[in-house]
Amino acid sequence: MILDSLPAAATNGRLVTNLTRRPAIRIDGLIVADNRGRGLVLQTMDVVVERCAIQGCTGAGIHRVCDASDFYESSGTTKVRIANNTLTGVNQGAVVGSAAFTRAAIAIAAELDNQLAPAGSHSQIDLVGNTIRDTARSAIHVGSAFQTNIIGNV
């Protein structure tokens, strides 16, 4: 890609993301069972995951992550809705990396230089009415975010 100009903050060593072409995700009624790894790994903006059943995954059931440490993939996100899902027996085994934010049934975070990135990487996050059972670690972890609503999850 050739750009005519870059913002002053885009200095050597900074990551630049083209946000003009990105997919939106709508997942409704999906069943994910017995996956050796994470159930859903979401790496885009404008995400809706509703009425899904995720069970028996060794990693997180739903993982929204952006990484500026090891893989340098995905930007931060806005507009994520994870609602009315059932997660059972997830995150019983595998842990991705050593960071605590990967150890939840629903995990949303950003990594920068192998640490949790500061708030602002993600925004407009709604986690509503999800049922989480039989997880060996945390039910929900949200980091690197602001404008977050966590309502009615059990």
Tokens of 25: 């995700």
Question: What is the rounded average pLDDT for all residues in the chain?
Answer: 82
Residue 45 forms part of a structural domain: yes
Residue 73 forms part of a structural domain: yes
Give residue 23's pLDDT. Answer: 82
Q: Cβ neighbours of residue 10 under 8 Å, at least 6 residues apart?
A: 16
For the entire predicted model, the pTM comes to 0.81
Q: What percent of the chain has pLDDT over 70?
A: 71
Give residue 33's pLDDT. Answer: 96
Q: What is each CA distance from 62 to 15, 50, 101, 118, in whole angstroms?
A: 25, 11, 12, 21
Residue 103 forms part of a structural domain: yes
Domain membership of residue 114 as a residue range: 25-121+137-151
Residue 16 forms part of a structural domain: no
Virtual torsion, Cα 61, 103, 118, 8, nearest 10 deg = -60
Residue 18 forms part of a structural domain: no
Give residue 16's pLDDT. Answer: 66
pLDDT tens figures, 32-51? 999 888 899 888 888 999 99
DSSP assignment string, 35-75: -SS-SEEE-SSSEEEES-EEES-SS-SEEEEEEESSS-B--
Residue 7 forms part of a structural domain: no
Give residue 100's pLDDT. Answer: 57
Residue 130 forms part of a structural domain: no
Amino acid 145 reads A
Number of domains in the chain: 1
Residue 108 forms part of a structural domain: yes
What is the sign, positive or negative, of the torsion defined by CA atoms of 115, 77, 90, 59?
negative
pLDDT tens figures, 91-130? 887 655 555 556 799 988 877 666 676 766 778 999 999 9
